[in-house]
Amino acid sequence: MFEITINYDTCDADQECINACPAQVYDEGEDGKPVIARPEDCLGCETCVEVCPTGSITVQEV
Ligand code: SF4
């Protein structure tokens, strides 16, 4: 199980995480920012962490 945290103060709604996640964990929110829609599907690959241009995502094994 992985815990995903998004810092919405620094997120610029680039949507790189939405596009890159191999498990479709994220949906697009009304403001264009990612919503963690399916956290239980997270693989812990940290692709979203790597592609985020503003460093707004952390993924931790819990
Ligand atoms: S760690 Fe991998 S599987 Fe989990 S949300 Fe990020 S890109 Fe998706």
pLDDT of 45? 98
Side-chain-side CA neighbours of 30 within 13 Å: the count stands at 0
Look up tokens 């815990």; give the residue.
3
- Give the integer Cα–Cα distance in Å for 57 and 8: 9
Bridge partners (DSSP) listed for residue 6: 57
pLDDT of 3? 98
Residues of the chain with pLDDT under 70: none
Look up tokens 């009304």; give the residue.
30
Any ligand 1 atom below 6 A from CB of 59: yes
How many Å lie between the centroid of ligand 1 and the Cα of residue 25? Answer: 7
Closest CA to ligand 1's atom 4: 42
pLDDT of 36? 98
pLDDT of 52? 98
Bridge-based pairing of strands 2-6 and 26-28 is: unpaired
pLDDT of 9? 98
pLDDT of 40? 97
**Would you kindly state where each structural domain of the chain is located, as residue ranges?**
2-61
pLDDT of 4? 98
pLDDT of 34? 98
What CATH architecture applies to the domain 2-61?
2-Layer Sandwich (3.30)
